[in-house]
Amino acid sequence: MENGGSNGGEVLPNGNGKAVQALQRSFGEVQGILEHNRMLIQEIGQNHESREAGGLSRNVALIRELNSNIARVVGLYSDLSTSFSGSLLAKGPDDAAANKRPRPAQ
């Protein structure tokens, strides 16, 4: 892909290779946390259905971990947004204009 898509780690022609790699790394981390959350939610559901005292008490710790993971994901997305915005602002006006879609003729 030429710009902004998954490119298998290639350096993009416009010099954004490092930015793309950082985005991919962050999204990979988010994906890992979300996958872990999915497993936590499954375990919480199983413990809840079993209604065993031990499982229900364990749910307290699992829910705390889930909450902490969600806060981490929010933080990662916030960092990604700030990073992405900063990289767009760092470009000159000519670069920003080059990335805009042409308007259709009316």
Whether residue 11 contacts residue 19, with contact meaning beta carbons closer than 8 Å, is answered with no
Report pLDDT for 86. Answer: 77
pLDDT at 11 over 90: no
Check the CA dihedral 67-73-77-80 and report its sign.
positive
Report whether 15 contacts 23 (CB < 8 A): no
Residue by residue, what is the 3-state secondary structure of the chain? CCCCCCCCCCCCCCCCHHHHHHHHHHHHHHHHHHHHHHHHHHHHHHHHHHCCHHHHHHHHHHHHHHHHHHHHHHHHHHHHHHHHHHHHHHCCHHHHHHCCCCCCCC
pLDDT tens digits, residue range 64-98? 999 999 999 999 999 888 887 777 777 755 555 55
Query: What is the predicted pLDDT for the residue at 87?
Result: 73
Condensed to tens digits (0 to 9), the pLDDT of residues 32-44 reads: 999 999 999 999 9
Task: Please count the helices (runs of H) and the strands (runs of E) in the chain.
Answer: 3, 0
Give the pTM. 0.65
The pLDDT of residue 20 is 79
